[in-house]
Structure 1
């Protein structure tokens, strides 16, 4: 009983002292204003990359990309009329430059001619740091496993909602990515996270990445630093355009 009274008395005295100090402190508006350092100015133009972005594909060439199978060779996919299209059989491609945390924008469309079903229809993927896949798939009236549909974190997390367009129409992905962190001994100390907007709709919100996105088996936790952006050759004529990235 004595301890309870003592605790209550201490609480009352603390609140009284806090209120007294607050009453004695007279803030002015400028006391909580600061003017340095100034934020970098970034300009934007509709349908173009922000002024501080790195343009990974501008519609003219693949100078920023190499073959994933042989980094000494430039990517062999097809560039025509400002559009990049998978050339089946040439393999995945990846950026020459590596990245850590970033904002990534790209647009994609499945083939105009519908063929195949499930994972065999308009399949490709966007690999974050070369290890974590955001699925690309024609999911218009095309049932498949939900953690493998378009915009899924492949085999780990299905999108919050399914955003659907008919085959041959352009989709957009806006991806905010925070890379996992490892200590000097290669031990994971913070998992990566990703937020994805599919055609402007949030389909992942601060989604935790458990490890590599494996086709067979469980995710693997592999220590790594900065890594490339990869695009997948799954054998389908998936097209891309307007690819840019902002390191964060």
Structure 2
């Protein structure tokens, strides 16, 4: 597992129906771009790396240009563009300026910067990257319990006690469904103490909505502790967005991928330790999102909850269920398995 986690991250077009073609066309510029500015002086001499992110919100592309995508760096520049565009031409100013063109393969342009002799510019070039989780498709180790294999819900029960209404998609995944029971999640029949949990999930195409809690919302719970699932590609990565210990701790970085791409959580949970009926050690959790560590051995002294009135811990010296949330968004899950650890 550790070796995999530490691995270095870094069209053919068929004839499509008009609606499908329009959908593909509208998403073609969405993604992440990385590259450098080839400057011999001033700011970009010591800071040549540059990155950009393009995501869709309604009928607009939202574009951000950054010194780094995954270290919460403030943006150099942000701007909007028509989401129907095949390419985006931009010219945005500030103490650093950027001018260029975004296409499906990358960004080419120039960056302007100030020197003692006045404003100068240097070429910049960024390549579009296709980032995938290094643990995507990872098989359950010997002795682990496979919770979702896309064939049945044998390991689960509905939180309502009624038959599970979620859908088996037929491609190895299951999908949240609220057609008959709204807001009703599922939980494992078996309970666990300390564990390693692998989850693969996909947020749906809800790009017509603004970023927020209405896009691809679900959650992975270990007992009362939730790791938030949300379409947060392009978001800030705050305490209620993807990878957060919900309203308890924001992710260290926003490692989210765009909607309709498979993502992974790899979670290690250490159960509380009791002595003489009293808690001696609080539970702790570490979370990797798409191979990037976003929560590092966090001590859980409060519940993850929507509101301070629900934060009080009621820990017991007993195993807990794993749960998947129904937040009325058709999020999909596949290849979910759990391994008990000492």
Q: TM-score range by the shorter chain?
A: 0.7 to 0.9
Distance 2:155 2:163 in 1: 8
Where does structure 1 lack aligned partners over 5 or more consecutive residues? 1-45
Determine if the alignment matches structure 1 residue 77 to structure 2 residue 170: no
User: Contact conserved, 1:84 with 1:240, CA < 8 A, in 2?
Assistant: yes
Normalized per residue, which structure has more helix? 1
Match of 2:106 in 1: none
Provide, for residues 142-183 of structure 1, a one-character-per-residue CA deviation record: whole Å limited to 9, x for no partner. Answer: 457x11110111111111111021111111000000012334
Distance 1:137 1:78 in 2: 19
TM-score by length of 2: 0.55
Match of 1:159 in 2: 251
Distance 1:230 1:91 in 2: 11
Distance 1:196 1:142 in 2: 19
Partner secondary structure for residue 163 of structure 1: coil
Q: Displacement, 1:90?
A: 5.6
Distance 1:232 1:241 in 2: 14
Provide, for residues 198-234 of structure 1, a one-character-per-residue CA deviation record: whole Å limited to 9, x for no partner. Answer: 0011111111112221101152110221010000001
Normalized per residue, which structure has more strand? 2
What does 1:87-102 correspond to in 2, within 5 Å? 87-88=177-178, 89=182, 91-102=184-195
Where does structure 2 lack aligned partners over 5 or more consecutive residues? 1-136
Distance 1:163 1:176 in 2: 18
Aligned residues: 198
Which of residues 289, 303, 313 in structure 2 aligns to 1:212?
303
User: Contact conserved, 1:118 with 1:143, CA < 8 A, in 2?
Assistant: no
Bigger RCO of structures 1 and 2 (CA < 8 A, at least 6 apart): 1
Q: Displacement, 1:238?
A: 0.5
Q: Displacement, 1:119?
A: 1.1
Determine if the alignment matches structure 1 residue 169 to structure 2 residue 258: no
Which of residues 127, 130, 142 in structure 1 aligns to 2:221?
127
TM-score by length of 1: 0.75
Distance 1:153 1:181 in 2: 21
Q: Displacement, 1:59?
A: 1.2
Aligned-pair RMSD on alpha carbons?
1.6
Q: Displacement, 1:74?
A: 3.9
What does 1:13-24 correspond to in 2, within 5 Å? none
Q: Displacement, 1:190?
A: 1.1
Provide, for residues 3-31 of structure 1, a one-character-per-residue CA deviation record: whole Å limited to 9, x for no partner. Answer: xxxxxxxxxxxxxxxxxxxxxxxxxxxxx
CA radius of gyration, larger in? 1
More deviation, 52-61/114-123: 114-123
